[in-house]
Structure 1
Amino acid sequence: MSAAERAAARGMMQKGEAGLPAEAQRAGFDAVFAERPLGADVTLAERTLGGVRALDVRVEGANRAGVILYLHGGGYVVGSARTGANLAAPLSRLSGVPAVSLEYRLAPEHPFPAAIHDALAAYRELVESGQTVLIAADSAGGGLALATLLSARAEGLAMPAGVVLFSPWTDVTLTGPSIDTRGEYDPLFNRPIMEDYAAMYLGGADAADELASPLRADLSGLPPLLVQVGSAEVLLDDALRLVARAAEQEVDVSLDVVAGAPHVFQYFAGFLPEADEALDRAATFIRHRLALVL
């Protein structure tokens, strides 16, 4: 797709407003993402995992062994299992692997580390039930996925077969240069907006805590990672620095950067060819990781 067409995709997005209360942000987010059609081949079913609400994302024909645990984005403040299903469903369809999208608790009502406790509880139940797990996540869900892995490692739980991260937010200290250098280019976020999310999530906790900012953690022993990010986003450096740190610590890691693409550009599947290609690569990664362990 041409640079002009990618610019058109960015133009379909609108930068938020700093300082809005969580309730207003959730309403706006849900208006766009909570009712998106998933396809006639998809059925959602409520369940719990480790005592946490979730949605089984059942795609016809997706019956391979294993399960994708999907952790939605939204700055730890907005989003839901239903919005996560928007990406869990195509990943399940393309990979043939069943998926479950988690309804972890949100800030500011439930600040750090409540979301991590929920994700770890869900992951623990899947592992202890004998499931082979792959984790997929976007944005804040990406940071949550990494924090869940660190917590699982500390408990001695088996690692997942692999992890797919779309535009992960890995550093709530907001020290990545792109937080500022990409603020005008990013059609969704800038520093003030990210500072609001960080403050609500942390609730006074230390932003440098490795579970809040897993970019700062020892990543050794983590499973293979696939990281995808667009160049037109303030979180570009969160992804680039994560990949560099993982490689330095002997973690298998792959990186896809799409020039001119916005935050979690995979949502543009069907409109932006690069989004379709990215989801195809993610599904191939999932199938490959499963084939190595099953």
Structure 2
Amino acid sequence: MSFAARRLLKQFRREDYRKSVNHSFLHPNQKVNIFKDTDQYNQIYRTNSGQVVTIDPVKSPTSQILYFHGGAFTVPMNQDQLTMITTIATAANSRIQVADFPLLPNHRGAELLEFAKQALTYTVKQPLPTFVVADSAGAALGLQAVIQEPAEVVGTVLVSPWLDMQLTDPSLTALESADVMLDLNVLKQIGGQFAAGLKPGDWVDVFDPVHLNVGPLKIFYGENELLTPINEQFITAAKKAANATVEVTRFKDGFHDYPLWTKLPETKKTVSQIAEFITSQRDA
């Protein structure tokens, strides 16, 4: 882990950053809309409950990235997330399709999942190779969509994914103190809200290799994340899938969703690896 990341971790602990994150998850300001400037964001595909926002950070994109943002399904997309995905897309010479999905608790988990499928269906109709990039809670939505249409997606990137809504693994409790952002009880509460009312077929078991024939898959996370055991279970399952190739980058002592801090050396390495992944799969 870099000196800059270690210094940031100390700052998070000193300021009790987890408390701020918990508050934002449980009491989000859902009036925030970073895409309200229609002059700047003028290509928007709207559904009943969400929208796909098209952004072109490069002049002649050779691929497109469908992006699902983090925020525990409750927090609107923010500027840091937009900066992160724009940096990735620029490095990968890609168009961005932002999946600006509906949010809990005003919408049910089933609505979020349905929107994710609609967003992917819309995106793959565009004449560019499609990649899915998703972080934290957004990874759950993105992966579920890819599982439904794996042949339409050239590659998938998951950053600090949250893929298990139940979080009953007993090893999670011991890791909670090391995570400077995530609170296990808060995630369980929100995960329960997300899962409430889901019907068979709404949610596919992502820990069953039978469902993970998703093609090329790249995963990034920090080893000190609360969700590390869940990530490891998913990686084990994905490696057993008949049609999936899995590449994993773990950063020692890394924290949840670290690429949002764009100046970190770890972030720069991650952006470079994602761009290389997209370029290599696009040209394969």
TM-score normalized by structure 1?
Answer: 0.82
AA aligned to 1:198 is G
Instruction: Write the distance in 2 (CA, Å) between the matches of 1:53 and 1:220.
Output: 27
Instruction: Write the distance in 1 (CA, Å) between the matches of 2:72 and 2:6.
Output: 24
Unaligned residue ranges in structure 1 (runs of 5+): 36-42
* Distance 1:134-1:67 versus aligned 2 partners, 3 A rule: same
CA contact (8 A) 1:88 1:101 kept: no
2:51 corresponds to 1:53: yes
Unaligned residue ranges in structure 2 (runs of 5+): 35-39
CA contact (8 A) 1:18 1:192 kept: no
Residue deviations 1:51-89 (CA, integer Å, cap 9, x gap):
64132222144x232210000011111132756423220
* Matched residue, 1:39: none
* Matched residue, 2:233: 241
CA contact (8 A) 1:183 1:234 kept: yes
Q: Give the 3-state SS of the residue equivalent to 2:164 in structure 1.
A: coil
AA aligned to 1:170 is L
- Deviation of 1:246 (Å): 0.5
Residue deviations 1:148-188 (CA, integer Å, cap 9, x gap):
122335xxxx3300001001111111034553121001011
2:13 corresponds to 1:10: no
- Aligned CA RMSD, in angstroms, stands at 2.9
Instruction: Write the distance in 1 (CA, Å) between the matches of 2:194 and 2:52.
Output: 21
2:273 corresponds to 1:275: no
AA aligned to 2:213 is G
Instruction: Write the distance in 2 (CA, Å) between the matches of 1:16 and 1:217.
Output: 36
* Deviating more after overlay: 135-144 vs 236-245: 236-245
2:258 corresponds to 1:265: yes
Instruction: Write the distance in 2 (CA, Å) between the matches of 1:279 and 1:164.
Output: 11
* Matched residue, 2:37: none
| Alignment map for 1:68-79 (pairs within 5 Å) | 68-79=65-76
Instruction: Write the distance in 2 (CA, Å) between the matches of 1:232 and 1:216.
Output: 25
* Matched residue, 1:203: 196
| Alignment map for 1:125-144 (pairs within 5 Å) | 125-144=122-141
Q: Give the 3-state SS of the residue equivalent to 2:66 in structure 1.
A: strand
Q: Give the 3-state SS of the residue equivalent to 1:16 in structure 2.
A: helix
AA aligned to 2:76 is G
* Deviating more after overlay: 43-52 vs 242-251: 43-52
AA aligned to 2:57 is V
Residue deviations 1:98-151 (CA, integer Å, cap 9, x gap):
111111111111111111111111111222344321000000111111111223
Q: Give the 3-state SS of the residue equivalent to 1:116 in structure 2.
A: helix
Instruction: Write the distance in 2 (CA, Å) between the matches of 1:180 and 1:68.
Output: 35
* Distance 1:18-1:257 versus aligned 2 partners, 3 A rule: closer
* Distance 1:6-1:264 versus aligned 2 partners, 3 A rule: same
* Distance 1:9-1:179 versus aligned 2 partners, 3 A rule: same
* Deviating more after overlay: 162-171 vs 175-184: 175-184
Which residue of 147, 150, 154 maps to 1:161? Answer: 154
Which residue of 1, 8, 28 maps to 1:25? Answer: 28
